């Protein structure tokens, strides 16, 4: 999840260094690296604050959701250890999904054997047996809640990436606008003339 954003930032950083003849980063590349940075260099403080605050809010939300998801994960694993006799060490996500759908190891293995899903059968090191249907259903609700929070944190990563892209495009637009719009003044004895020039 976090690797994706690091790869994107690294790409924009390398691209900026390759495309800059002066050795300075273009405002669009600055905003791609850190939303709002390009707007600051173009003297647009209000736009810079918007992108910067949005970035801070999104990262805070992402980290909060990720940590809360992990907290819920530890809770459901502890619950399974207490009420199903599960040893939580070295168990993958599929295992936690399976134990929320079968009351015990024997029921799971018997059904998968009938389906000829031999590779999905667990040995007795993965044994579990729920005290009741209620405990199994409560565990499954806890596990789903944790997974949903983790999924939400991935959505926020997508929004962070979008914020970088939009800020970069905005800085590119502002920089082009500054280059294309020119103001000329003509002064003579009688009057002052101003001429606005826009290059399409």
* Residue 183 pLDDT grade (very low, low, confident, very high; cuts 50, 70, 90): very low
Closest CA to 29 of 8, 46, 45: 8
State pLDDT tens for residues 132-155.
999 999 999 999 999 999 999 999
* Domain regions of the chain by residue span: 2-198
- pLDDT, averaged across the chain: 83
The predicted pLDDT at position 24 comes to 76
Share of the chain above pLDDT 70, in %: 77
DSSP SS3 for 8: helix
> How many C-beta atoms surround the C-beta of residue 121 within 10 A?
14
Give the integer Cα–Cα distance in Å for 156 and 166: 15
**How far is Cα of residue 80 from the mean position of the Cα atoms in its chain?**
29
Given a cut of 80, is residue 191 above it in pLDDT? no
The model's pLDDT over 6-41, given as tens digits with 9 standing for 90+, comes to 555 555 555 554 454 455 778 888 888 889 988 888
- Give how far Cα 89 sits from Cα of 78, 171, 200, Å: 11, 49, 64
Is the pTM for the entire model greater than 0.85?
A: no
């Amino acid at each position: 999840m976090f690797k994706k954003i690091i790869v994107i930032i690294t790409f924009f950083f390398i691209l900026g260094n390759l495309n800059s003849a002066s050795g300075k980063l273009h405002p669009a590349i600055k905003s791609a690296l850190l939303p709002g940075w390009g707007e600051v260099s173009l003297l647009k403080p209000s736009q810079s604050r918007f992108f910067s605050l949005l970035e801070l809010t999104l990262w805070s939300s992402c980290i909060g959701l990720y940590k809360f998801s992990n907290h819920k994960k530890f809770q459901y694993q502890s619950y399974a250890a207490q009420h199903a006799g599960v040893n939580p060490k070295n168990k993958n996500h599929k295992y936690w999904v399976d134990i929320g759908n079968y009351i015990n190891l024997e029921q799971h293995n018997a059904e998968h054997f009938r389906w000829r899903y031999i590779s999905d059968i667990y040995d007795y090191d993965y044994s579990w047996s729920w005290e009741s249907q209620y405990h199994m259903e409560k565990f499954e609700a806890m596990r789903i809640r944790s997974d949903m929070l983790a999924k939400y944190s991935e959505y926020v990563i997508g929004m962070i990436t979008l914020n970088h892209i939009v800020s970069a495009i905005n800085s590119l637009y502002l920089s082009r606008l500054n280059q294309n719009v020119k103001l000329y003044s003509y002064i003579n004895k009688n009057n002052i003339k101003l001429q606005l020039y826009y290059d399409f």
